[in-house]
Amino acid sequence: MNKQVVAKRYASALFEIAKEQQLLDQLEQELRVVKQVFAQNEALLSVLNHPKVALAKKKALIREAFANISTVLQHTFMLLLDRHRIDIVEDLADAFIALANEARDVAEAIVYSARPLTEDETKALAEVFAKKVGVDTLRITNIVDKDVIGGVKVRIGNRIFDGSVSGKLARLQRQLTR
């Protein structure tokens, strides 16, 4: 079965538990940190997937590495280890965050700009684009990209709003070469 499909099933179950125990915010924050740890430490995942490392040692490594996370999440990781599915942790985190955002009517956006955005610019963009995509709140992550030249390019899910100078130049070039 596809990794994303399996991850969505585990995320859905974890989401239901989080809602039931009112741990939604806490688990979302913990999963963001865990995802970052797994993304930055490829060696951790390779050790956890290695067939010659005993299951007890893998579980001890998880308990030690993530000692400060909630017991619900620790139990989830132990279950993933038991079922040889620890490689879906990043996908599980993404799916859980998507479910939590949907429940709160929040969307995640990546804004590419030539320079770092100020707090006021970020708030203004969040207000404008939240209305465009029909959500209450928009969480913006700003990425500085010198290729943008000026303006901004906003990515929300699979939608891209390109108001950058480089985007306008590319559209102009396509029109002129027709």
Confidence of residue 37 (pLDDT cuts 50, 70, 90): very high
Dist CA 169 CA 75 (whole Å): 52
> Residues 113, 96: one domain?
no
User: Per the confidence metrics, is the pTM higher than 0.85?
Assistant: no
Dist CA 21 CA 24 (whole Å): 8
> Residues 96, 141: one domain?
no
Contacts of 41 (CB under 8 A, 6+ apart): none
Question: Can you give the residue range of the structural domain that contains 18?
Answer: 3-101
Asked if residue 46 has pLDDT above 70, the reply is yes
> Residues 117, 96: one domain?
no
Per-residue pLDDT tens digits for 107-146: 999 999 999 999 999 999 999 999 999 999 999 999 999 9
> Residues 87, 119: one domain?
no
> Residues 94, 119: one domain?
no
The total number of structural domains that make up the chain: 2
What would the two tokens of residue 54 be?
Answer: 């005993």
Give the distance from CA 22 to its chain's centroid: 21
Residue 81 near residue 55, CB atoms below 8 Å: yes
Here the CATH number for the domain that contains residue 73 is 1.10.520.20
Output the average pLDDT for the chain.
93
